[in-house]
Amino acid sequence: MIYFLTSSPFIPGSPDLNPANSFLTNLKNALMETAPGKKSLHLLHVCSDPTDFAATDLYSEQMRWALEEAGLPFPTVSYLDDRNFEMAAELVHTADLIELAGGSVPLQNEYFHRAHLKEALADYQGVLIGISAGSLDSARIVYNVPESDEEADDTTRPRYYDGLALTETHIMPHYQADDFAFWKNSRLVSILKEESHTTPIYVLPDSSYVLGKNGHETLFGEAFLLKDGLMSQISLPEGTYVIS
């Protein structure tokens, strides 16, 4: 499997995929490597909210359109939500590209377990793109970041979840995004800094991503490392940083 852990793969304010930081080039190369010569590619959109069927249909079509606009036509598109969760293994087996949607980390994580997605992905040889929550839930151990004061005050809220175990890397998305309130809440940022004493966290703006292949990971684009309570810049725009 070749995977992309993104904050957001789209141009801010646009439905188009973002070519910055060689994303489209690396995506096309990954598909050429995993599906060489294949003319009819198959996209699988995996939901974040398994009961919001309208959102699943909308976002799967949006990704199909964005890929086609980028010169990557996917004539076959499937979805995975509560309408067909028992088909996860079959759908994964036929997919050339899997998209893990953004949304609620806990809600998506619960669904991944119910659909046995981790097991379905065990021998997957295609390409996978995680978006925001989908990237967080790809980790072996998922840190359940509180995104509001109410969540921070909830003592019953689990701190960690078991994830898909595609990576040991923890990311925090949407840094510097104007519409993501998390980074404007000093209390929540303090909680994240406290967690970084235990778990190093890679902080990504929306155009940056982690590319994983053959047991190695490289970060593309501007990025920051939050470790031991301190955040430092580790990569500039259009730069790279080797994680492993």
**Rounded to an integer, what distance in angstroms lies between the CA atom of residue 123 and that of residue 127?**
12
Query: Does the pLDDT value for residue 179 go beyond 70?
Result: no
Instruction: Identify the domain containing residue 98 by its residue range.
Output: 2-242
Per DSSP (E only), the strands in the chain are 2-6, 42-46, 76-80, 97-100, 127-131, 141-143, 160-162, 171-172, 201-203, 209-213, 216-220, 223-227, 230-235, 240-242
Mean pLDDT of the chain: 95
Which pLDDT score is estimated for 39? 86
Confidence of residue 239 (pLDDT cuts 50, 70, 90): very high
**Angle subtended at Cα 216 by Cα 210 and Cα 221, rounded to the nearest 5 degrees:** 25
Exposed (0-12), middle (13-18) or buried (19+): which is 232, by Cβ within 10 Å? Answer: exposed
Q: Kindly report the CATH number assigned to the domain that includes residue 172.
A: 3.40.50.880
pLDDT at 117 over 80: yes
135-166 pLDDT, tens digit per residue, is: 999 999 999 989 889 998 999 999 999 999 99
Gap between the Cα atoms of 65 and 59, Å rounded: 10
Instruction: Count the neighbouring beta carbons within 10 Å of the beta carbon of residue 211.
Output: 22
What pLDDT score was predicted for residue 225? Answer: 96
* Band of pLDDT at residue 128, cut at 50, 70 and 90: very high
Number of domains in the chain: 1
**Residue that has been written with the tokens 């959109």 in this structure:** 45
